[in-house]
Amino acid sequence: MNWQAVQITTQNQAIEAVSEIFLSVGAQGVQIDDESDVQVIAYFEANDQFPAIVTTIRTRLAALANFGIDASPATITIDGIAQSDWENNWKQYYHAQRITRHLTVVPSWETFTPVQAEEKPIIMDPKLAFGTGTHETTQLMMEALETVVRGGETMIDVGTGSGVLAVAARQLGVGHILATDIDEMSVAVAKENLALNPVAADIPVIASDLLADVATAPVDLIVANILADVIARLIPQTVSRLKPTGYFLVSGIYDAIAPDIQAQLNAAGYRIVQKSQMGEWHSYIAQQKEAEPCNDIF
């Protein structure tokens, strides 16, 4: 079995937070070296899940500043390979993968030939943005989209990352889509990926802290596959931006925090119409309690 060492250079005040990031993505333990610069190190199996783990680590590391945690310099080294070199090295792990009945994620450097007519490609060059389509949380969201989409809906994709869910939604038939992300790098990557998918090339992407800078009429769908710590801030923002019969699809929720997120959804006036789980990760399809359930979907 081959292993990759992931090392983050940080400072003492961020050791606990960085260690928690490693543990949340599957590390069995961490090594701390603080003899000179502070290094937090964890080891991961070098398999096809490793690229998604690295992008998740990077996204969560960048998000620490939102919680007042200074993790600088926050540099990542992978088995002696600088993060800037990782974009090319990780391609050996990332290949076309059918995620759901209708959706197959295809890296931009591979040629895609559908096996069945119903198979729709999502062309991705995710680089360092979270959301390759192979991570459990993204798979859960694609399955949730297949459950609720009937065609022609309006949607906001909060924290779009690589743009994978925006493309998936358009491939399934969603009409107008707005994608947002707080990270300017992710905004740029999402725009590049949308351009790789002619069906989704017209989807606008804006920089916004969750829904703070979003000014649209209420939509049919809001989807969010984001850090669990941020979901609590997002939940109350969604209520006024959804149509009364609209659906809020949310993932990125790990075991320990799932009961609290469900309680917060209920407190905001949502009922859980579907809950799914893959490994330690959970997703919810939620709808306002006063909305009449749609028997055609559930």
* Verdict on whether the full-model pTM lies above 0.85: no
Q: Is 193 annotated as a binding residue?
A: no
Residue 269 has pLDDT above 70, yes or no: yes
Residue 225 has pLDDT above 60, yes or no: yes
Instruction: Please give the pLDDT value at position 164.
Output: 93
Instruction: Please give the pLDDT value at position 285.
Output: 98
* Lowest-confidence segment of 105-109, 227-231, 283-287 by average pLDDT: 227-231
Query: Of residues 52 and 250, which shows the higher confidence score?
Result: 250
What is the rounded distance in angstroms from the CA atom of residue 69 to the CA atom of residue 175? Answer: 39
Beta strands in 125-241 (DSSP E): 155-158, 177-181, 205-207, 219-225
Q: Is 85 annotated as a binding residue?
A: no
What is the rounded distance in angstroms from the CA atom of residue 70 to the CA atom of residue 61? Answer: 10
Exposure class string for 167-197: b at 16+ Cβ within 10 A, else e: bbbbbbebebbbbbbbbeebbebbbbbbebb
Residue 128 has pLDDT above 60, yes or no: no
Domains, the chain, in order of start with CATH, read 2-92 (3.30.70.120), 94-288 (3.40.50.150)
Residue 79 has pLDDT above 70, yes or no: yes
Residue 131 has pLDDT above 60, yes or no: no
Average pLDDT score, the chain: 87
Query: Of residues 49 and 135, which shows the higher confidence score?
Result: 49
Instruction: Please give the pLDDT value at position 132.
Output: 63
What is the rounded distance in angstroms from the CA atom of residue 11 to the CA atom of residue 115? Answer: 50
Q: Is 225 annotated as a binding residue?
A: yes
Q: Is 181 annotated as a binding residue?
A: yes
